[in-house]
Structure 1
């Protein structure tokens, strides 16, 4: 783990030296929710959950997990509210969490529609 933190510190140091003042302002380099802090990288990594949920739109509804969809919807909606309460406000994380909640809700709707339209297949299992 120490190797990764050393690489991170090295990259931030390079960015501090290479980026011009106007570029630093444009990307909010020194902002508490900017690329130098975890408040930026958290939503970047969490967006992979949103991408996985969008990828699940191609899966048949009978293959979707009800528990997973409930968890994604609840997590996304609860944490999107929390992102607007914390300081510094992290709108990027709030947007990612809201998208995660919507993705989970959409999967829940697909599962409910499948169970409603195929009641015979549910009694077989």
Structure 2
């Protein structure tokens, strides 16, 4: 039961994948705007690259979920049309 609830939460359209994608984009932008210290006058490119990779990975997972949902919907429509 807990597994199905966790899976439902994970696959929800507004679940953690969407939050990770948005968070990664926000922090990537923030990382290009802030300067970590007064003494260091350069951006923290490690911070930017990690958050960019996070957002790209999350968007890829979201696209896979959307494609899967659409394929299931198309299969259901095909079955209904055959009947």
Same-fold call, TM > 0.5?
A: yes
> Does structure 1 residue 93 correspond to structure 2 residue 47?
yes
TM-fit CA distance, 1:108:
0.5
Q: Deviations over 1:42-69 (max 9, x none)?
A: xxxxxxxxxxxxxxxxxxxx9x524111
* CA root-mean-square deviation: 1.9
- Which of 11, 32, 42 does residue 65 from structure 1 map onto? 11
2:64 match: 110
TM-fit CA distance, 1:101:
0.2
- Give 3-state SS (helix, strand or coil) of 1:87's partner: coil
Using structure 2 for the length normalisation, give the TM-score: 0.64
Q: What is the number of residues matched between the two proteins?
A: 59
**CA distance in 2 between partners of 1:80 and 1:99 (Å):** 9
Matches within 5 A, 1:1-125: 65-66=11-12, 67-88=15-36, 89-119=43-73, 120=76
Unaligned runs of 5+ in 2: 1-7, 37-42, 77-83
Q: Deviations over 1:56-92 (max 9, x none)?
A: xxxxxx9x52411101100001100100100132100
Unaligned runs of 5+ in 1: 1-61, 121-125
The runs of 4+ residues in structure 1 deviating greater than 4 Å are: none
